Amino acid sequence: MTGKITFRVPLALADEFKQKKGKEIKDHIKTNPMYENSISWVGDRLRIEAHAAKGLFADACNSVAEHLKTIFTEDQVKDVPTILMVGGFSESPMLQDVIKRTMPDKTIIIPADPGLAVLKGAVIFGHDPSVIQERRCRYTYGVKICLPFNEHIHPESKKFVDDDDNILCSDIFDRHVQIGQPVEYGESQVTQSYVPTSKSAKAMVFPVYASDQPEPTFVTDQSCTHLGNLTFELGGSGTARAVNVQMTFSGTELKVEAEEKSTGKKKNAKFDFLG
């Protein structure tokens, strides 16, 4: 648009402004050189020149463009040729213009109803999660374990001795998948083997954690969040009873499965990403 844009504003706003500032809004506007000739207040209507109205959205549009430029510097997406604009803000011609000017080498696709595209996608995904074959991890996922104590890197406060007189360090974050790592729908990423630290243990508890850091050291780090536990009942005795643990990403859930090596017995737990 090139002409003036008119907004209807409740008179209560003008009254409230006068009460707090001691002057009329229309008089206050005239004191600002930036808006003196581009904004006027008539009755209950605010009339704004098109260039001034566009300026209200400049920071938001430029921030989106800069964020996209940052994303396209990453190796995983630097060769992606197409941008699909969805969501309510994508309906803005101003945002569309900024993105097209900022990304002249990209093909810009804008659906007929950008605001509804997200909702439609969510409905389709809810009915058939396999429509998204691969996703990138938003967090680093792992379980809490113990490792041999290293006095050079482990704090003394986490040191303890197990039933076999091994000196161990507690609260270690054992990573299964890393933030930004591609994971396929319904596929397990890695299988880790664990053994109990107590000979008389009747069960092993696998506390599952998420972190927004690529390589957290301890589950007690500030970046870590406890998602829940998977408790696995053990047979026999001793500390050589190995249990394999693997994580599978399926839609909005993280599935953690444990399997006892000697018996093949399995148990799993699910953690809802939307919870």
Backbone angles phi, psi at 184, to 5 degrees: -90, 145
Give the pLDDT confidence score for residue 103 in this predicted structure.
93
**242 part of a folded domain:** yes
State which residues of the chain have pLDDT below 50: 275
Is 192:177 a contact under the CB 8 Å cutoff?
A: no
Q: Do 267 and 140 share a domain, yes or no?
A: yes
Give the pLDDT confidence score for residue 162 in this predicted structure.
87
Give the pLDDT confidence score for residue 264 in this predicted structure.
84
Tell me, yes or no, if the pTM score tops 0.75. Answer: no
Beta-bridge partner residues of 169: 147, 159
Domain extent for 46: 1-57
Half-sphere exposure of 128 (CA within 13 A, CB side): 6
Give the pLDDT confidence score for residue 275 in this predicted structure.
45
Q: What is the CATH number of the domain that holds 234?
A: 2.60.34.10
**187 part of a folded domain:** yes
236: left (phi over 0), alpha (psi -120 to 50) or beta: left
Give the pLDDT confidence score for residue 149 in this predicted structure.
94
pLDDT tens per residue across span 64-79:
999 999 999 988 888 9
Give the pLDDT confidence score for residue 273 in this predicted structure.
59
**9 part of a folded domain:** yes
Number of domains forming the structure of the chain: 2
Residue the block writes with tokens 């463009």: 65
pLDDT tens per residue across span 201-211:
888 888 999 99
